[in-house]
Structures are given as C-alpha cells and as structure tokens.
Amino acid sequence: MSGFLPISRSEMLEKGIDRFDYICVTGDAYVDHPSFGIAIISRVLEAQGYSVGIIAQPDWHSVKDFKQLGEPRYGFFVTSGNIDSMVSNYTVAKNPRTEDSYSAGGEAGHRPDRAVIVYCKLLRSAYPDTPIIIGGLEASLRRFAHYDYWDDAVRPSILIDSGAHLLTYGMGENQTIEIARRLATGEPVKNITDVLGTCYVTANENIPLGLVNLPSYEMVCENKKEYCKAARLEIDEHDAISGRALLQKHGKRAVIQNKPMPPLTQEELDKVYSLPYMRFYHPSYEQKGGVPAIEEVEFSITHNRGCFGHCNFCSIAFHQGRRITCRSEDSVVNEAESFVKNPRFKGYIHDVGGPTANFRKPSCKKQLTVGLCKGKKCLAPEPCAALEADHSEYLHMLRRLRAIRGVKKVFIRSGIRFDYLLQDKNDAFFNELVENHVSGQLKVAPEHCSPSVLDAMGKPHIEAYEAFAKRFYERTRKIHKEQYLVPYLMSSHPGSTLKDAVTLALFLKKHNIRPEQVQDFYPTPGTISTCMFYTGLDPYTLKAVYVPRESGEKALQRALLQYFNPNNHALVKQALIKAGREDLIGYGEGCLIPPFIAKKQDFAGANAKNRPHSGLRSLNDRQVPPQKGNGGFRYGKAKQGKPATAKTTKKPVQK
C-alpha cells in the first residue's frame, strides 16, 4: 500500500505525515491511474513537493469522512470524479442507475447527486476558512449558467451553488501548480484571481475592465435567444490563443472566467505521464472485487488530448479544447514497456488513443498562431480545404509498440475519425490499422444517416462513412480476416424527426445492421446540442431546430432503430403510420415489419440468407458510464462464416 497516496488516518501516520498540505476529494473510488483525473492532479501536487491525501467517495450524510484526514495546511481540491455525477447516477430516462463502474464492486449509490456542490458545502461546514478549489468535468462544464436536464431548468454557475473559491476548467495541471504554489506562499485565496484557466466570483462593483460580457444568469433563464448567445460565446472563446476573458453576472455577483490556460507542451505532458502511478485501484477495494473501471484502461495508453472534430453533442471541445496536443513517441513506448514488467499483463495493449485515436497533429498550421476558427468545423459538413491529414507519426509509434518484446497485440479501441482518415492520401496507416490493430471490431461514429440530423450534430454526411466501410471490408476480405465496424448511432438528437428515424431504420436494413442496444441523445451541460435541446434553436444561426422531447416520441424513434425486434412491433407500426410510411408495413423485401406478428419468424424477412450481424452498443466517450469490452453495432459481412458474438456484461467500465 505504500505506493498509493494515503486514504486513511492509519496510512497517513504510516508515512509519517502529521498534516497534509493538500487533500483531494473525489466522487470515484481511488484508482491511481492516469485515466483518472484525480490521480493526475494528486500526483502533480506530489511532484511539486507537497504532501497529499485522498478522500474517495466520502459519506455525504455527515462531515465525519471529510474530517478523517484532518484540515490541510493549504486547501482542498474537489471533483465529482471522471464524469458528471448526474450522468453517473441516472440514465437518459432519468431512472437511477443500478451500477457504477467507478465504485468498488460496481456498486451504485456511493456518490451524491451534484457531488461537487454537496462536497463543498460539507467541507465549508467542517473547515470554514480553508480554500476550496473545484475542477474536473462536472465543474468545468457547469462553470457558467447552464441548462440542467435533470431539473429541466437553467441552473447558476456551479461556483455560485458550491461556494468554492476557485474553479479550474479544462485540463488543470498548470492551474493546479500555480494555485498550490501561491497558497503555499501564504497568498490569500481571495487574491488569486489572475490564473489562466480558472474562474472566480466577485461583486459586480469589482468586475475588471476589458472582459466579454455574457448575457446574465437572469437573462438566460428568461430568454432562450440570450441563452444561445451565451452558449456560442462560451464555445468560441474556449481557445488558448484567440479566447478572451468572460464575465456573467448572477444578481449582485459575477462569475469571471480568465483566458484559457495554454495546453501542456509535449515535454510537460510527457512528465505528467511519467509520474509514479500505481496504475491500479487501492487494495482496500479488493474484498469487493476491485473497481471495474480499471479493466479496460489498465493496459491502455492515452497519447493525445483535444479534438478538432468537435461534434455538437460531445463535451470534449468545451473541456479539453479543440487543439490537439500529444505525448512523444518515447513517452508512449516507455509506458508500454512498463506493461511487460507487470504480472497482470497478458501481452495485449487494449488501446492507444484518446478523445479521437487518429488525431496526433493540429488540423492545420494556422491554428498554432491564430487559434482555431470560430463558428466553423475542421471536418463537417465537409473537410476544410486547409486540413492536413497525416498519420505517419501515429503509424511509426504503433510500429514501435508492436515491436516491443512481450507485446502480442496493439489494439485501437478509441474512436477512429474515419472522415479524417479518408483524407490521407497515403494508405499505409489504413492498411496496417485493418491488418494489425482491430480486435475483431473497430469503433467509428457515423451517428445517423439523415443529412439534416448530421448537420445538427456537426458530423459529416453518411457518404463518408459508406466510403470508409467499403474500403474497410475490401481490405478485411483481402487479408482473410473476419472483423467488423462498430458504428455508433444515436436516436432523438435535436433535428431528428420521426421521418428521419425511419430513414435511419431503412439505412440499417440496407446495410444489415442490427443494434442490440441504442442510445438516446443525453443532454449534458456545456454542449451545443444541449443548447439546441433546451432552446429549440441553433445557437449559430438562431434558426428553429426540431427537438423530440416527449418520452413517447423518443420511444418510437428508439424502436425504429430496432425494428427487427418482435417486442418493438407495436411501436414500430405506430411510428410508421404516424410518419406516413405504411408502405414499409408488409411482407415485401423493402418492408421493415409485417402487418401482424404471430410468430417471431415473421420477422425473418427476405434477407434471411444474409442475416445481419448484431452487437452490444458501447456507451463510451459521451459522458456515459462505459461498457466492458469492445461491443457495438456491426456493419456488413467481412467474409462468409459465423459472425463473432459480442459478449455482454453487467459491469460497465471506461474511456
């Protein structure tokens, strides 16, 4: 246990610590692995010479657990964990989840709703004068007034609700180092108002000059166009080069956001990943079977940060940012070589990825000097003319990893941006990806097939996916392998009408896709899609966007994605009639369902000899508790023969 940071009084005394300099509070079980934000922040603090304690998943019904390690000399760093606590606790249907992959044994119920707010109030009760700094995804995405899906209302900044002194947004290593240094020198936390990548609260009469004024909390609550204006400014100014400082008034106080902190340099990022992580959960969780979230990430490697793909429903752009930063090849190879010395390592590196696996360079040189373009996307609806698609460095790194003695296979399980890959004129990466790095299934994210829905999502049109799929299966057949694409698909996204859902069902039938699970759009704080969901407007054009809100319509759209399931017959029939597509009800080859269902074989259809493949829907990368394994939808047939069967699990795990 000596390699882990202390989580109890006994471990604290064992290390000879009478008082911690800083204490980190997290809503996750303590897993000392760099895929956990709190592990990085705590190790970064330790590397600066501070003593650090961990309070993991404290009982929030009293202050007892918050006092177990005593009062730190300088302050608390607080996070809800790797994902928003509300997403962790509830499904998109707002039903309580029965499992939590970030808790020992996968048990649910170990973190409160709105964990950051709850933790901060209890800390304030226990230690009224101790500085509290909040960060992580929940704090970062809720730093301004935001629509909250679970309340179905606009909530104020989490800084206002929590009473914390400072908020670090984005990837917070350098913010943490600067704040910790200044607190340790005795500077009052109320004076620390100029650190890049942070937010603080001040009285309206103390607002600095020269800030961009967002519509106030009161305005965005009352006027949806003002909410759109705020959402667009928040996204557009989240750039380390072109981003400006922002303010948003909340009554007599204002939330001030300083300019973004520049991304870590490659040297700094390498240093972060070289810190002495134990790369496993704390031994105290062993009696419950450990923490499920470690299973997929223990022998996975994160090589990059950021995503210039910027899908509208994804939180990455508003958290990590759109600019790509990456570790050096040597750093990645050194991490892989350390796996070989681990007795649990079986020779398989599960992933070499990040937000998007095949992004390793900026999309163009211009963004390095002037920042990323505001109000535009690098890849959608079509690739920008300035895009530079180059996989050579990523490929070289993968080759080095494959050559390590003791490594049997190197897989890529993070999402591949297929539209970017298609722009690379060199086929070397594509060929080696298909030949060496697919573990039976490859994750890709077309999301939908309707042009209007894809435009609302900020995604390329379906023709790009079809071109990629064709190449993938041609190459797969050529090398005599049986492997499949795992296309993510989403129902009920803003812009998706019932007719669009029918179009998607027909697309699935045409391409022999049978998803076993489907994902409804989940409105999470800070995304453009959530703004559309709340306001019914596109924040960049202020044009009306159709939003499927009612549970009944969502059920119809979701059922259409599983039109082949006999249990969905009544819903699919209702949806087709409502959409005016009764022509799809019948026994013809082009029909989706028969008029009546007496036996399950009525669903066999005209294409029984070319039976579609099925698979388990994975929920990674969208702030949703992930699933174990690499299941998903399958597309087409790579070769004749029995398709691989996706394994299911009751214990969700993570990206």
CA-to-CA distance for 536 and 548, rounded, in angstroms? 10
CA-to-CA distance for 280 and 104, rounded, in angstroms? 12
The answer to whether 648 touches 616, Cβ cutoff 8 Å, is: yes
> How many CB atoms are located within 10 Å of the residue 61 CB?
10
Domain at 445-655, CATH class: alpha beta
pLDDT of residue 608: 42
Residue 81's pLDDT band (boundaries 50, 70, 90)? very high
Task: Report residue 556 as tokens.
Answer: 């119809």
Give the pTM: 0.91
CATH number for region 293-437: 3.30.750.210
* Percentage above 70 pLDDT, the chain: 91
Q: Per DSSP, what are the bridge partners of residue 336?
A: none
Residue range 171-193: mean pLDDT, rounded: 98
> How many CB atoms are located within 10 Å of the residue 80 CB?
33
The residue whose two tokens read 């981003």 is: 243
pLDDT of residue 651: 33
Calculate the dihedral angle through the C-alpha atoms of 30, 31, 36, 37, rounding to the nearest 10 degrees: 40
Single-letter amino acid code for the residue at 131? P
CA-to-CA distance for 239 and 233, rounded, in angstroms? 11
Asked whether the domain spanning 293-437 has the same topology as the one spanning 9-192, the reply is no
Task: Report residue 558 as tokens.
Answer: 């979701």
pLDDT at 653 over 50: no
CA-to-CA distance for 428 and 450, rounded, in angstroms? 31
Task: Report residue 103 as tokens.
Answer: 């808790």
pLDDT of residue 171: 95
CA-to-CA distance for 147 and 103, rounded, in angstroms? 27
Residue 648's pLDDT band (boundaries 50, 70, 90)? very low
* pLDDT tens-digit series, residues 188-211: 999 999 999 999 999 999 999 999
Task: Report residue 315 as tokens.
Answer: 């939180």
pLDDT of residue 613: 36
pLDDT at 219 over 90: yes
Q: Give the residue ranges of the annotated binding site for [4Fe-4S] cluster.
A: 307, 311, 314
pLDDT of residue 487: 85
pLDDT at 213 over 90: yes
Instruction: Please choose, from the candidates 60, 444, 43, 81, the residue with its C-alpha nearest in 3D space to the C-alpha of residue 293.
Output: 81
pLDDT at 616 over 60: no
Residue range 5-25: mean pLDDT, rounded: 97
Q: Which of 402-406, 551-555, 619-623 has the lowest mean pLDDT?
A: 619-623
CA-to-CA distance for 622 and 655, rounded, in angstroms? 9
In the chain, where are the structural domains located? 9-192, 293-437, 445-655
* pLDDT tens-digit series, residues 87-114: 999 999 999 999 999 999 999 999 999 9
* Percentage above 90 pLDDT, the chain: 88
Residue 518's pLDDT band (boundaries 50, 70, 90)? confident
**Residue 292 to residues 100, 150, 226, 285, Cα–Cα distance (Å):** 8, 26, 42, 11
CA-to-CA distance for 354 and 524, rounded, in angstroms? 20
φ and ψ at residue 559, rounded to 5 degrees:
-65, -35
User: Average pLDDT over the chain, rounded to whole?
Assistant: 91
pLDDT at 586 over 50: yes
CA-to-CA distance for 377 and 367, rounded, in angstroms? 12
The answer to whether 283 touches 30, Cβ cutoff 8 Å, is: no
Domain at 9-192, CATH class: alpha beta
The 3 state secondary structure assigned to 23-65 is EEEECCCCEECCCCHHHHHHHHHHHCCCCEEEEECCCCCCCCH
> How many CB atoms are located within 10 Å of the residue 396 CB?
13
pLDDT at 655 over 80: no
Residue 600's pLDDT band (boundaries 50, 70, 90)? low
CA-to-CA distance for 558 and 505, rounded, in angstroms? 10
The length of the chain in residues reads: 655
Q: Give the residue ranges of the annotated binding site.
A: 307, 311, 314
Residue 598's pLDDT band (boundaries 50, 70, 90)? low
In this predicted model, which residue has the larger pLDDT, 26 or 637? 26
Calculate the dihedral angle through the C-alpha atoms of 86, 91, 95, 99, rounding to the nearest 10 degrees: -80
